[in-house]
């Protein structure tokens, strides 16, 4: 009997599942028969066969989890059978009177008498004492049998608007009888669930973001304020972004009137046009993350057709420099160039003027003025309305360049990058159009990058510029850096692998002209101690002051009285434990201890903080929403 039962079970499953799979195979044209492979490799024992023949449950979930709907008024989901010939109005009418788990909870609370225990339950706790009946009238009923269930509300993201605030209220307010009752607090009916959350103290106000923008408006440009405002919108979830915009819009857009006039879009733009253009630029900054102004409740929307006016916002961004101001800066900086910087400046500007497509590598140790020369080139060329793209291998180095970006973000270098990779730039894209009219590319800290990155940019530029004969498609490019500093990081790589990944081992190196900067500007100082320290640094880079074990020998004036961390802290931070430090801001800004490992940084921070005068106080950030008991 057991064998017969097993055979019947196999035939039953085969007929039920496999035949259905034949129809799927015929419809979709799939070649792989996964059901047959599963059956061929499957063994069904006699007990399992009998269990399946008798249609018993194969598994059970304990405890039961009840999914609780979270929806706004009259926005609940409606499920219907598309095969039934039902009209849309009939479906809506049928579901209008049908309760959901949320509206059913409202009805039960409204019908409950005073003192009922159910009125003390939150929405997510209601299934622990009640059962949701789906057959018939869809309602909650008292649990009559032993056992319990767990309620789980559907998740709502902070960017989902009122639904998020509705869910927040449901987690804190018990015994609610309606949506209006949920929006009521201390006798006041609020217009939105968000206002009700604010009234109950469930949301932090925007005071910290308002203070941040107030401080930034005194020192940051409109361009920087727009990026800061986008960061607040995207990452900080402000409570009322519209109020922040209305308060700081004039500061965020303070440079746009001149920009619109320079781009010949509006000679005398009105304040409304300036703000609308500012909203357009904010929309562009949000778009890479998949967001738009519509995702932020209350934010005004763009009304003008700025895309048609600007054509290419990347080119417009590079053309917004004031040529008169750039010429003034160029004149001041060129007068300060030393002979080596002047020679490099003349060669690079000549290559740009003649469009010879030459490539250069500006080599110099730290302090020889590479960054100063980069910015001087930018001022000079931009004063002639030429386009210069400034990139660097790291974000910190990019901040030192005028209009700097990281190379990966500017040229869309793929990660990981291989010997045959190309950049993710479409030939008909706005970035490709920008590259076509670019006059010079400056790439700082190039030795840090793997040579495959430069080679990928070379292949991409050749394709975009339709010039496969010259390196980088004939576009002049200036690399810079010092090979004695950081080289490409190769994970668990040997010294040979690290050297092989440098730009010097690239096929591009033979076409690059090396320009040397020898004069260290940090040595030209009247302070003898600073000059000696800069000279000592250069000598360490040349392999001097190092013993046979590879340890660097420090000068006598670098050493503390005792060779331990405590002596170092006392030397750098004298008088730290005193109750009143003279001018604490200046005291700490002039002192720092550098370390190579984060673990050592944490240890040093703990020891320094332990020397502070007074008791330790912990200030908690608003990283969670407090709920009432």
- Per residue in 358-394, pLDDT (tens digit) is 999 998 887 788 899 999 999 999 999 899 999 998 8
Which residues share a beta bridge with 153? 68
pLDDT, position 10: 44
Judge whether 265 and 305 are in contact, CB under 8 Å.
no
Pairing verdict, β 388-392 and 440-444:
parallel
pLDDT at 23 over 50: no
Average pLDDT, the chain: 83
* Dihedrals phi, psi of 389, to nearest 5 degrees: -100, 120
CA 58 to chain centre: 45
pLDDT at 305 over 80: no
- Show the tokens assigned to 255: 């440079």
pLDDT at 29 over 90: no
Classified as helix, coil or strand, 379 is: helix
| Confidence band of 235 (pLDDT split at 50, 70, 90) | confident
Judge whether 457 and 477 are in contact, CB under 8 Å.
no
- Provide mean pLDDT across the span 275-302: 88
pLDDT, position 618: 77
Interatomic CA distance for residues 443 and 461, integer angstroms: 15
pLDDT, position 13: 45
| Confidence band of 19 (pLDDT split at 50, 70, 90) | very low
Distance (Å) of CA 596 to CA 448, 487, 527: 18, 16, 28
pLDDT at 11 over 50: no
Interatomic CA distance for residues 126 and 132, integer angstroms: 10
CA 331 to chain centre: 39
Label residues 483-492 b or e (16+ Cβ within 10 Å = b): beeebbeeee
Pairing verdict, β 388-392 and 188-189:
unpaired
Highest mean pLDDT among 26-40, 140-154, 367-381, 484-498: 367-381
| Confidence band of 24 (pLDDT split at 50, 70, 90) | very low
- pLDDT per position as a tens digit, 512-523: 999 988 887 766
Label residues 82-99 b or e (16+ Cβ within 10 Å = b): eeeeeeeeeeeeebeeeb
Which helix (H) or strand (E) segment is 150 a member of?
A: strand 149-153
Interatomic CA distance for residues 501 and 503, integer angstroms: 7
Q: What global pTM score does this model have?
A: 0.49
pLDDT, position 5: 43
* DSSP, residue by residue, 68-133: E----TT-------TTS---HHHHHHHHHS---HHHHHHHHHHHSPTT-GGGG--GGGGGGTEEEE
Between residues 195 and 20, the one the model is more confident about: 195
Interatomic CA distance for residues 435 and 452, integer angstroms: 20
Interatomic CA distance for residues 497 and 504, integer angstroms: 13
- pLDDT per position as a tens digit, 518-539: 887 766 666 677 777 777 877 7
Interatomic CA distance for residues 100 and 77, integer angstroms: 9
pLDDT, position 86: 56
Interatomic CA distance for residues 521 and 534, integer angstroms: 10
Between residues 8 and 477, the one the model is more confident about: 477
Please name which of 456, 501, 448 lies closest in space to residue 479, comparing C-alpha atoms.
448
Contacts of 3-9 spanning 24+ positions with Cβ under 8 A: 3/46, 5/46, 5/49, 5/50, 5/53, 6/44, 6/45, 6/46, 6/49, 8/49, 8/53, 9/44, 9/48, 9/49, 9/50, 9/52, 9/53
pLDDT, position 275: 93
- Show the tokens assigned to 310: 């600007």
- Show the tokens assigned to 260: 């619109």
pLDDT at 3 over 50: no
* Cα radius of gyration (the chain): 35
Between residues 101 and 582, the one the model is more confident about: 101
pLDDT, position 563: 73
Between residues 356 and 91, the one the model is more confident about: 356
Judge whether 320 and 263 are in contact, CB under 8 Å.
yes
| Confidence band of 598 (pLDDT split at 50, 70, 90) | confident
| Confidence band of 15 (pLDDT split at 50, 70, 90) | very low
For 324, half-sphere exposure in the C-beta direction (CA atoms, 13 angstrom radius) is: 1
- Show the tokens assigned to 287: 């778009």
| Confidence band of 314 (pLDDT split at 50, 70, 90) | confident
pLDDT at 199 over 70: yes
For 598, half-sphere exposure in the C-beta direction (CA atoms, 13 angstrom radius) is: 0
The single residue listed with the structure tokens 């006598």 is 556
Which helix (H) or strand (E) segment is 472 a member of?
A: none
Domain ranges of the chain: 2-53, 64-78+86-199, 207-310, 323-523, 526-558, 560-629
- Provide mean pLDDT across the span 343-367: 89
- pLDDT per position as a tens digit, 425-445: 888 788 888 999 899 999 998
pLDDT, position 390: 92
- Provide mean pLDDT across the span 265-270: 80
- Show the tokens assigned to 239: 């409570």
pLDDT, position 251: 92
- pLDDT per position as a tens digit, 50-100: 988 998 888 877 788 888 999 998 888 877 776 665 565 667 777 777 888
| Confidence band of 119 (pLDDT split at 50, 70, 90) | confident
| Confidence band of 134 (pLDDT split at 50, 70, 90) | confident
pLDDT, position 622: 63
* DSSP, residue by residue, 429-442: SHHHHHHHT--EEE
- In sequence order, the 6+-apart residues with CB closer than 8 A to the CB of 258 are 322
pLDDT, position 258: 86
- pLDDT per position as a tens digit, 460-494: 999 999 888 899 999 999 999 888 777 888 888 88
Torsion angle, CA of 138/143/147/148, rounded to 10 degrees?
60
pLDDT, position 12: 45
**CA angle (262 as vertex; 257, 268 as ends), nearest 5:** 45
pLDDT, position 328: 92
Interatomic CA distance for residues 530 and 557, integer angstroms: 12
For 483, half-sphere exposure in the C-beta direction (CA atoms, 13 angstrom radius) is: 13
CATH of domain 323-523: 3.40.50.300
pLDDT, position 77: 81
């Amino acid at each position: 009997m057991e064998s017969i039962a097993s055979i019947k079970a196999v035939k039953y499953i085969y007929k039920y599942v496999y035949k259905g799979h034949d129809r799927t195979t015929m419809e979709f044209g799939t070649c792989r028969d996964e059901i047959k492979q599963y059956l061929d490799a499957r063994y069904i024992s006699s007990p399992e066969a009998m269990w399946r023949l008798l249609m018993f449950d194969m598994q059970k979930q304990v405890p039961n989890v009840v999914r609780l709907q979270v929806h706004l008024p009259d926005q609940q989901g409606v499920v219907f059978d598309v095969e039934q010939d039902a009209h849309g109005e009939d479906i809506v009418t049928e579901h209008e009177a049908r309760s959901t788990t949320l509206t059913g909870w409202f009805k039960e609370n409204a019908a409950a008498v005073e003192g009922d225990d159910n009125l003390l339950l939150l929405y997510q706790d209601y299934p622990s004492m009640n059962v949701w009946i789906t057959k018939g009238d869809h309602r909650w009923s008292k649990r009559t049998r032993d056992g319990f269930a767990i309620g789980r509300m559907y998740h709502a993201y902070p960017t989902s608007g009122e639904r998020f605030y509705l869910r927040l209220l449901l987690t804190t307010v018990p015994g609610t009888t309606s949506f209006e009752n949920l929006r009521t607090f201390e006798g006041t009916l609020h217009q939105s669930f968000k206002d009700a959350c604010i009234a109950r103290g469930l949301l932090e106000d925007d005071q910290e973001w308002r203070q941040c923008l107030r401080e930034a408006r005194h020192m940051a440009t409109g361009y920087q304020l727009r990026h800061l405002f986008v960061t607040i919108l995207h990452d900080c979830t402000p409570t009322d972004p519209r109020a922040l915009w209305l308060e700081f819009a004039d500061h965020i857009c303070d440079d746009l009137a001149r920009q619109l006039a320079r781009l010949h879009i509006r000679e005398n733009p009105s304040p409304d046009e300036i703000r609308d253009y500012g909203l357009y630029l904010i929309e562009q900054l949000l778009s890479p993350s998949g967001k738009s102004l519509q995702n932020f409740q209350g934010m005004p929307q763009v009304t003008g057709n700025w895309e048609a006016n600007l054509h290419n916002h990347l080119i417009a961004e590079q053309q917004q420099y004031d040529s008169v101001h750039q010429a003034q800066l160029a004149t001041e900086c060129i007068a300060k160039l030393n002979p080596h910087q002047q020679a490099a400046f003349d060669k690079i500007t000549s290559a740009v003027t003649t469009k010879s497509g030459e490539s250069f590598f500006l080599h110099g140790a730290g302090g020889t003025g590479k960054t100063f020369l980069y910015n001087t080139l930018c001022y000079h060329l931009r004063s002639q309305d030429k386009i210069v793209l400034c990139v660097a291998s790291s974000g910190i180095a990019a901040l030192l360049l005028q209009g700097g970006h990281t190379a990966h973000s500017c040229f869309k270098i793929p990660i990981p990058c291989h010997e045959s990779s190309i950049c993710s730039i479409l030939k008909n894209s706005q970035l490709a159009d920008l590259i076509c009219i670019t006059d010079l590319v400056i790439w700082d800290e190039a030795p840090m990058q793997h040579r495959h990155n430069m080679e990928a940019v070379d292949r991409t530029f050749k394709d975009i510029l339709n010039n496969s004969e010259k390196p980088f498609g004939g576009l002049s490019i200036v690399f810079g850096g010092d090979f004695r500093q950081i080289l490409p990081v190769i994970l668990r790589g040997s010294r040979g692998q690290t050297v092989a990944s440098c730009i010097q081992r690239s096929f591009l190196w033979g076409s690059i002209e090396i320009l040397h900067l020898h004069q260290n500007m940090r040595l030209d100082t009247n302070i003898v101690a600073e000059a000696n320290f800069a000279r000592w640094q250069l000598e360490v880079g040349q392999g001097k002051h190092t013993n046979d074990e590879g340890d660097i020998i420090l000068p006598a004036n670098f050493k503390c009285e005792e060779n331990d961390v405590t002596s170092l802290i006392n030397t750098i931070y004298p008088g730290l434990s005193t109750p009143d430090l003279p001018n604490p801001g200046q005291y700490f800004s002039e002192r720092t201890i550098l370390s190579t490992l984060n673990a050592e940084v944490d240890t040093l921070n703990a020891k320094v903080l332990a020397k502070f005068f007074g008791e330790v106080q912990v200030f908690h950030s608003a990283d969670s929403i407090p709920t009432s008991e």
